[in-house]
Amino acid sequence: MIKLKVIHGPFSGQEFELTTDRFMIGRTNDNHLVIPDIMVSRHHAYINFENGHYILIDQSKNGIRVNGKLTKRFILAHDAQMEIGPCILHFLSA
């Protein structure tokens, strides 16, 4: 089971299961994970399942940090830490 766990910010402590090949993250209600904050773009990022890997793709102007580094595209591994606006998320793959 693949999940994102919110460890800081809105929805802290909640987990969101990745149930589609494209999991959308952003400020508007048409995303799978909605982060209601002005620092989060309407469609900030998505996680794609490609060739057996989960890949985080940033499509915002504000950026995303993964494991402390600013990135536009990142192959996620278990316990990767993502910072999107005021949220810190952990990618859980086990």
Q: Between β-strands 53-58 and 73-75, what pairing exists: parallel, antiparallel or unpaired?
A: antiparallel
Q: Provide the terminal-to-terminal Cα distance of the chain, rounded to the nearest Å.
A: 6
Q: What is the pLDDT of residue 62?
A: 87
Q: What is the pLDDT of residue 94?
A: 73
> For the CA atoms of the chain, what is the radius of gyration?
12
pTM for the model:
0.93
Whether 81 shows a pLDDT value over 90: the answer reads yes
Q: What is the pLDDT of residue 10?
A: 85
Q: How far apart are CA 10 and CA 90, in angstroms?
A: 14
Over residues 59-74, the mean pLDDT reads 95
What is the pLDDT of the chain when averaged over all its residues? 95
Over residues 14-27, the mean pLDDT reads 95
